[in-house]
Amino acid sequence: MIILTFVFVAPVAVLTGFFSVEVFAGLRRLRPAEFADLPGVSAVVVIPAHDEEAVIERSVRDTIDAAGTNVFVLVVADNCTDQTAEVARAAGASVLERRDAEHRGKGFALAAAREHLRGDAPTVVIVLDADCRIDAGSVRALIACAVRTGLPCQAINLLAPDLGAGPLVQISSFAFMVKNLVRQRALQRLAGRAHLTGTGMAFPWPIFEQANLGGSNIVEDLALGLELAERSAPPVLIEDATVWSPAASVGGTLIQRRRWEGGFLATMLKTAPGALVRSIRQADARGVCAALDLCIPPLALLVLLNAVVFVLALVAAFFGGAAWPMIVQIGIGIVAALAVGLAWVREGRRFASPATLLRLPFYVLWKLPMYVGLARRGAPKDWLRTGR
């Protein structure tokens, strides 16, 4: 009974403990980068778009306004069935239309953009999702960082806060902030790298030219960042740059989370255990931190796992087992709750109200059918456009 309890308690306790460490480490801002404007540097903002007629005009116009001189906007209209290409072209972007029903996905769209740009390659390529907003300062910071460091650079990627939205949307936006702001800061501090999040990414051309852009991988950005880190080109988090996406409806939020979390869990199971073993064998502390970060499931699933393990420990203690697993779970849970509470105080109040945050258990229950579906059917395979 003791061994069985330990097998369940130890992994969840370690991951929850490291999650808490990351949140505490990510509460403080990173040191501001000092990157001056670089004259003569050319850049292209690539916007992959699949049936984005409703949002592409505003996205293109706002991006052109933010980009300034020597920065051009290229929209890749990938297998579109609407007027995305025409609307983007009328808004002022260059447009590359791509039709290949058997090879759909963001990675294929980026690969097509790369071939299109190869004849007159820019210094830097910025990737921006079709529904995202970026300001001029963020564009300049990304370009300057990519040129100065020679590494891929990642902006802070957040959902636009909306305290008037429903509780489930607010909590999802808060969890997104914890992952993409607080934990990204911590990963940069502890491991010297960050994750690529799919939008607000800047690549020096030599790296973009050689990158494995992922094809149909549903989380091609995450996989690409891990591969680049293995090739000694770890992505750098730039807190001076931010990209914003609109918060989706409740149904759209579920589509977002099913797509990303399903792909993340598949990538985690495939890569994290091996990376953790290699880092331990090599006594690579930063590698261990990066691998542990990758092992941490999404917030709702982490809460669910802790609840299940606590119940198992409670049952084991009731039938005569040791009490320490239950005590460990209670202690770890209190520390993790404190970390999340501090993250809300420092960064999260604009994303979720206090009353909404107290509904986190209901958020976990709301997502439970999604996790059951992922366990039965696996991650989505298609490039899903989120419901607006």
What is the DSSP secondary-structure string of 75-131?
Answer: EEEES-SSSHHHHHHHTT-EEEEE--TTS-SHHHHHHHHHHHHGGG--SEEEE--TT
317 pLDDT tier (thresholds 50, 70, 90): confident
Residue 249 has what pLDDT? 61
Q: Do 19 and 59 fall within a single domain?
A: no
**Upper half-sphere CA count for residue 104 (Cβ side, 13 Å):** 16
* Residue 203 domain flag: no
Residue 69: which CATH number? 3.40.50
Question: 61 and 8: one domain?
Answer: no
pLDDT tens readout for residues 70-107: 899 999 999 999 999 999 999 999 999 999 888 888 88
Looking at every residue in the chain, the average pLDDT score rounds to 88
Range with lowest mean pLDDT among 30-34, 109-113, 136-140, 272-276? 30-34
Q: How many domains does the chain have?
A: 2
Report the SS3 class of residue 203.
strand
Per-residue pLDDT tens digits for 333-368 = 999 999 999 999 999 999 999 999 888 888 888 788
Same domain, 11 and 99: no
Give CA angle at 197 (376, 260), nearest 5°: 15
Q: Is residue 186 included in any domain, yes or no?
A: no
Tokens of 163: 């305290």
Supply the range of the domain harboring residue 347: 2-27+268-377
CA distance 261 to 202: 23
Map 241-308 to HEC letters. Answer: EEEEECCCCHHHHHHHHHHHHHHHHHHHHHHHHHHHHHHHHCCCHHHHHHHHHHHCCCHHHHHHHHHH
For residues 64 and 92, membership in a common domain is answered with yes
> Is 282 contained in some domain?
yes
290 and 358 within one domain: yes
Please, what's the b/e burial string for 26-48 (b: 16 or more CB within 10 A of its CB; e: otherwise)?
beeebeebebeebeeeebbbbbb
Which residue would you say has higher pLDDT here, 379 or 64? 64
Q: For residue 261, is it within any domain?
A: no
Residues 372 and 274 in one domain: yes
Residue 337's contacts (CB-CB under 8 Å, 6 or more residues apart) are none
Asked if the structure places residue 359 within a domain, the reply is: yes
Say yes or no: 59 and 16 in one domain.
Answer: no
pLDDT at residue 283 above 50? yes
**356 and 299 in one domain?**
yes
**Assessment of whether the complete model's pTM goes beyond 0.75:** yes
| 382 belongs to a structural domain | no
Is the confidence at residue 255, as pLDDT, over 90? no
Closest CA to 16 of 327, 368, 301: 301
Question: Which three-class secondary structure state does DSSP give residue 12?
Answer: helix
Inside any domain, residue 349: yes
Alpha-carbon gap, residue 325 to 201, rounded angstroms: 42
Q: Residue range 309-334: average pLDDT?
A: 87
Structural domain ending residue among the three candidates 122, 153, 168: 122
pLDDT of residue 218: 45
Whether 381 shows a pLDDT value over 60: the answer reads: no
pLDDT of residue 222: 82
Do 279 and 373 lie in one domain? The reply is yes
What pLDDT score was predicted for residue 12?
Answer: 93
Number of Cβ within a 10 Å radius of residue 186 = 25
Please report whether residue 236 resides in a domain. no
